[in-house]
Copies of this chain bind each other. A is one copy, B any other.
Amino acid sequence: MVLDLNLLREEMDLRRPAPGIGTPRQEDDEVEILSGVKDGMATGGALTMFVRNRDRDSDKYKQFRDKPRPGHADQTAVAKYGECHDIRGGGQFSGRMTAALVAGGSVAKQLLAEHGIVVAAYTESIGKVVDARRHGIQDMLSIARSNDLRAASEDVIEAMREEILGAREEGDSIGGVVHCLIDGVPVGLGEPFFDTVEGELAKMMFAIPAVKGIEFGAGFRAAAMRGSEHNDPFVVVQGRLRTAKNDAGGVLGGISNGMPIEFRIAIKPTASIAKEQRTVDLKKMEETSLAIEGRHDPCIAPRAVAVVEAAAALVMADLSIRGGIID
């Protein structure tokens, strides 16, 4: 397989912080390929991609060992890994780890594209600004890739930006929702027990820091619906079997049903905020307060769009290989 390094570069750039709304911390996110590619072709051997950290500012993390940051894994990690846990930059809990997902996901995307499977996502909401429109994949591939909010509707861009800037001005952060669509999925991927399409995607998504929920199709709305309202009627469109809507999100019985796979991801607000928070001094076992200085994104959602796409592509490539669609 030809590996297009320009596409890889584009995906990496889509994950980088945007001027104005993102962290001023600048990493070039250069991907060095250590093995598995020769003359632009994947050789079939292990593909090793390496992204170096360059813009480090490690000193200010030391204090979090004794005064753990609320919403972070500082204390949890020390409990698990002991004193040798590397707390600099959050260590393996850093959002920076998602650069690797995006690099790997770009390869998966290229592999899927050869089989007509396309993964795309966009920012559905930032705080209270919600893009209520339903988008096809074209909006995600064009509009959402050309604005730094990763919004699929142009008229929500400025409101989303203000929501982020408003949070930052107050030394605070804000959450959001990422909406993902996978088009061109053949019927029959996944298993009823236990490797469902939903389960495999969900497991991967929760490896992305800050993800706190996932729903497919109508998701939590389905809980308040009647069956007659929620069930997708079967219809014939141009001689092919389809469903009239897609409240099932493309999955029935854990197996892809041939409709686009559609899911929404809840992204919590960035845990690192400048505002003073309550925490505990672990040495004295006394409550104290903490204000986190540093260069943090006030909202992760726009950057998470590239990560969700990449993670979904990795899962779909795996399911496609297991299902005999690829290779």
Contact = CB atoms under 8 A, between A and B. Distances in A.
Nearest to A240: B285
Contacts of A38: 84, 86, 88
Contact of A269 (B170, B214, B230, B287): B230
A13 interface: no
Size band of the A side of the interface? 35 or more
A187 interface: yes
Interface in A83-113: 84-86, 88, 91-93, 97
A23 interface: no
A219 B266 contact: yes
Contacts of A236: 280, 285-287
Interface stretch (A4-12, A132-140, A143-151, A193-201): A193-201
Contacts of A125: 223-224
A196 B188 contact: no
B235 A207 contact: no
Interface stretch (A14-22, A66-74, A114-122): A66-74
Interface in A202-225: 202-207, 209, 211-220, 222-225
B215 A84 contact: no
Nearest to A48: B50
A270 B223 CA distance: 10
Nearest to A129: B224
A93 B77 CA distance: 38
A42 B223 contact: no
Interface in A254-295: 254-258, 264, 266-273, 275, 277-280, 282, 285-287
A174 B271 contact: no
Contacts of A72: 252-253
Contacts of A172: 226-228
A84 B44 contact: yes
B220 A278 contact: no
Nearest to A72: B252
B216 A213 contact: yes
Given A219-B213, A234-B75, A268-B230, A199 B206 contact: yes
Contacts of A225: 127, 174-175, 268-269
Contact of A206 (B202, B228, B231, B279): B202
Nearest to A69: B231
B177 A73 contact: no
A244 interface: yes
A202 B212 CA distance: 11
Nearest to A177: B223
B188 A252 contact: no
B253 A41 contact: no
Q: Which 3 A-B pairs have the closest CB atoms?
A: A73-B253, A213-B215, A44-B81
22 contacts: A38-B86, A44-B77, A73-B192, A75-B257, A76-B188, A79-B187, A92-B192, A93-B253, A97-B192, A175-B224, A198-B211, A199-B202, A199-B204, A199-B207, A207-B254, A213-B222, A219-B266, A222-B266, A223-B301, A231-B273, A233-B277, A236-B286
